[in-house]
Chain A
Amino acid sequence: MFRLQKNTFKHGIHPPECKDETKDLAIRQFPFSPVVILPLAQHIGAPSELLVREGQEVIRGQLLAKANGFVSVPLHAPVSGTIRKIKDVPTVSGQMVKGIFLEAFPSDTQEVWGGDPLDLDTASAEDILQGIQDAGIVGLGGAAFPTHVKLKIPEGKKCEYLILNGIECEPFLTTDHRVMLEQDEDIFMGIRYLMKATNAENVIIGIEANKQDAADYLKSKIPADLPVRIQVVPVKYPQGAEKMLITSILGKEVPSGGLPIDAGAVVVNVATVAEIGRLLPLGRGIQERVVTITGPAVKKKGNYLIPIGTPLRFVLEQVGVEENISEVYMGGPMMGVAVSNLDISITKGTSGILVFTDENTPKKEDKIYPCIRCGACVDACPISLLPLKLGTLAKHKSYDEMVDEYNLMDCFECGSCSYVCPSNIPLVQYFRQSKAIVRKRKSNK
């Protein structure tokens, strides 16, 4: 009612930030593990199509699997070595997908050879999109959506604003923060490619106020030829969601069921842009990414440049963790996944690894109390849904009413409702399941 604050979206929450321990630690190279495990589904869309066989020797940067359709990207070898096995491996979500076990050559320099540089001056928009796809680039913020797909501007639409997402609103994570402080040249080079690919005339880098140092630094580095504006926005979760960021920055809403381009914008994570700016001039594929490894149980916390495919077990052995660890999350604590075992690996979408012991696990009560209609979830939902009403409908399996009357499909599962619920009701979990059921029903029709 009295909210006149601009530069941000409605509602939202303020979880503890927990970024202090790693935000000042520069990105460090992580050691190569003896074996990397590479699932073929590291992105949203069709899994990549295998190009190699067991026993084959590959060199770092070599193509291991190609894109299988438009919404798909290829996979490159993150190390030079021998392909030992190709068999089903578990992904973070617990599903089994085909994966490659690549054993690194011992004491190899792991230098990357070759590449097919994409010249910025002569490349067309299509060339750049193709180059981004060929580099195997997906959104590094965590969603792992193939980047070239969102850069493809549909017929009749215009991309007025290219927005770089430097929000990083998940607690604990500091990868984007470090990338902005350390990879400014890559970011600006990436912007050049993206401006050409999208025809955007305005470029805005959105940064939350808790990363003022990154905003100041980037501002001081903006090249004269680029129309880049840095916009600092108030700290609030889930501002890193594209739609929320567009509202914070442009004051516009993306239509329900629509895409950012319907509001004239394309939003790309800032680390993804840096990767584009680094890889395309070299013509190489993505082989590593920055991951924040932190949490109370981690001894050597930090921001590490980790080869894709590094097994989680190896990562934890290297950084050192407490004996009695009990929970490990991949991603941030708000939307990340708790893993059931350590035999999974770092993928392109892994933005963070958080480790907790029983004693320091974020306080959680198991007991679920009845909904007292306190309305906290209503005040938290960034898109103004009525989570408590949806929760009741989910219990009664009234999926049609959830979709038609209460906009279930607009929920993007940020978890704000569950975070604030004093009765401990797993609201977002209900919505995730309900959405899955609705989608399944639709595809069966």
Chain B
Amino acid sequence: MLNKTLNISTSPHLKKGLSTPVIMQNVVWALLPAAAFAVYTFGLNAFFVIATATLTCVGTEHVLCKLSKKESTVGDWSAVITGILLGLTLPPSFPLWMAVFGGIIAIAVGKFAFGGLGFNVFNPALVGRAVLQAAFPVAITTWTPALLENRFSGVSSSTFALPFMEPVFDAMSGATPLSAFKFDHISADTFDLGMGLVSGSTGETSAVFIMLGGLYLIARKMMNWRIPAAIFSTVFLLSGLLYLINPEIYPTPQFMLFSGGLMLGAVFMATDMVASPMTSLGVWIYGAFIGGLVVVIRVWGGLPEGVMYAILLANALSPHIDNAIRPRVYGTSKRKKS
């Protein structure tokens, strides 16, 4: 007895037991309510767009790993997140071949080119979407109204458009609340906005379901709540200030919060751990930067929406925030300067 070879390992011998794939998996679960609601609101179109983006991202990740003779990293679930997120940011009747293109860009350029998981500077899904916005400005701003009667019986003619052919969009296209406000000064009902019963990208319309997923992740300590908190409070304060100055020109703060991609961006994209700062003070600054930029772009920019650019710019800023904002080390008198 007691002559066994013992295992040796280094301390600590206990682990919290929250692993990276488990976190990623839970982000996927948290995205599902928003995705399911997208399918409910926009029907088969949304389903095809989200599924295509997801499959493309996972496939691209797998193929790229194989090509570079590495073990496939599909198992860490991060490519699934990128795919679902990309799908959720696209219009429901977006041509699927374009979604494939976006998915490949998201993984190959947004993630793999930087070195894979943990090394991407930008949120990969947003990189994919930014390229799509530049390449297909018409397709990506053509919206389908919510709750169409025939949404489960058929798909838009644009969905299965042939690659590199100009897609034909159905006649029934609707403006998003943001563009309606920006260009025609029509404000949408806050309840409809919150529920997501408006036109827009597949998954960004329902604040309720996005927040549900976010709260789940926060409760499981898998998301930094400070980031959405900073974004929301900045947007609310800034747009509230503008509204107080002139309610004729500027939308209400609740309209700003619940319209467009702000919810989805703040809860699921700005919180991308890899591309956001690591300290608490750092993420407050990062969130405030995003919130400020969203208001500026929406109010004074040429586009109705600015969440994507705001987050991408903040991603670029994040390493610099980390360098500038360092916690004061215990027992030292000053924060270190870089």
- Could you list which residues of chain A lie within 8 angstroms of chain B, going by C-beta atoms? 1, 9-10, 13, 15-16, 171, 243, 247, 253-258, 313, 316-317, 321, 323-329, 333-342, 354, 361-365, 369-376, 378-379, 382-386, 388-389, 405-407, 410, 415-416, 418-420, 422-424, 426, 428-429, 432
CB distance from B76 to the nearest CB of A (A): 6
Since A341-B6, A371-B118, A423-B20 are in contact, a sample of 6 more A-B pairs with Cβ atoms closer than 8 Å, ordered by chain A residue number, is: A326-B6, A333-B12, A340-B8, A384-B329, A405-B336, A415-B12
24 CB-based A-B contacts, threshold 8 Å: A1-B281, A255-B332, A256-B329, A257-B331, A324-B4, A326-B6, A333-B13, A338-B9, A338-B11, A340-B8, A369-B21, A369-B117, A370-B117, A373-B118, A373-B278, A378-B279, A382-B330, A415-B11, A418-B15, A419-B14, A419-B16, A422-B19, A422-B20, A422-B22
Q: Is the CB of A373 within 8 A of B4?
A: no
CB distance from B294 to the nearest CB of A (A): 22
Q: Is the CB of B116 within 8 A of A370?
A: yes
A419 to B11, CA, bound (A): 9
A426 to B14, CA, bound (A): 12
Q: Is the CB of A334 within 8 A of B13?
A: yes
Q: Is the CB of B1 within 8 A of A323?
A: yes
Q: Is the CB of B330 within 8 A of A336?
A: no
State the majority secondary structure of interface residues on A: loop
In chain B, residues 266-306, which have Cβ atoms closer than 8 Å to a Cβ of chain A?
Answer: 273-274, 276, 278-281, 284
CB distance from A343 to the nearest CB of B (A): 10
Q: Is B142's beta carbon under 8 Å from chain A?
A: no
Q: Is the CB of B6 within 8 A of A386?
A: no
Q: Is the CB of A410 within 8 A of B330?
A: yes
A225 to B39, CA, bound (A): 77
A16 nearest CB neighbor, chain B only: B14
A364 to B19, CA, bound (A): 10
Most A C-beta atoms less than 10 A away, residue of B14, B16, B22, B276? B14
Q: Is B199's beta carbon under 8 Å from chain A?
A: no
A337 to B278, CA, bound (A): 31
Q: Is the CB of B15 within 8 A of A424?
A: yes
B328 nearest CB neighbor, chain A only: A384
CB distance from B284 to the nearest CB of A (A): 8
Q: Is B226's beta carbon under 8 Å from chain A?
A: yes
Which B residues are in CB contact (< 8 Å) with A407?
329, 332, 336
Q: Name the contact of B331 in the complex, choosing from A15, A256, A339, A432 (C-beta under 8 A).
A: A256
A219 to B286, CA, bound (A): 49
A253 to B284, CA, bound (A): 26
A10 to B22, CA, bound (A): 27
Q: Is the CB of B11 within 8 A of A384?
A: no
Q: Is the CB of B1 within 8 A of A369?
A: no
Q: Is the CB of B331 within 8 A of A258?
A: yes
Q: Is the CB of A375 within 8 A of B224?
A: yes
A326 nearest CB neighbor, chain B only: B7
A334 to B16, CA, bound (A): 11
Q: Is the CB of B273 within 8 A of A327?
A: no
* 3 pairs of A and B residues whose beta carbons are closest in the complex: A370-B118, A383-B330, A415-B12
Which B residues are in CB contact (< 8 Å) with A422?
16, 18-20, 22-23
Q: Is the CB of A369 within 8 A of B19?
A: yes
Which B residues are in CB contact (< 8 Å) with A376?
18
Q: Is the CB of B12 within 8 A of A418?
A: yes
Q: Is the CB of A362 within 8 A of B2?
A: no
Q: Is the CB of A375 within 8 A of B13?
A: no
Q: A326-B7, A428-B12 are in contact. Are A363 and B17 (CB under 8 A)?
A: yes
Over the window 325-338 of chain B, the binary record of Cβ atoms lying under 8 Å from chain A Cβ atoms (1 yes, 0 no) is 01111111000101
CB distance from B311 to the nearest CB of A (A): 16
Q: Is the CB of A334 within 8 A of B11?
A: yes
Q: Is the CB of B10 within 8 A of A373?
A: no
Q: Is the CB of A336 within 8 A of B331?
A: no
Q: Name the contact of A410 in the complex, choosing from B19, B116, B331 (C-beta under 8 A).
A: B331
Which A residues are in CB contact (< 8 Å) with B18?
376, 420, 422
B9 nearest CB neighbor, chain A only: A338
Q: Name the contact of A334 in the complex, choosing from B1, B14, B336 (C-beta under 8 A).
A: B14
Q: Is the CB of B117 within 8 A of A372?
A: yes
Q: Is the CB of B14 within 8 A of A256?
A: no
CB distance from A297 to the nearest CB of B (A): 11
Q: Is B119's beta carbon under 8 Å from chain A?
A: yes
Over the window 151-167 of chain B, the binary record of Cβ atoms lying under 8 Å from chain A Cβ atoms (1 yes, 0 no) is 00000000000000000
Q: Is the CB of B12 within 8 A of A334?
A: yes
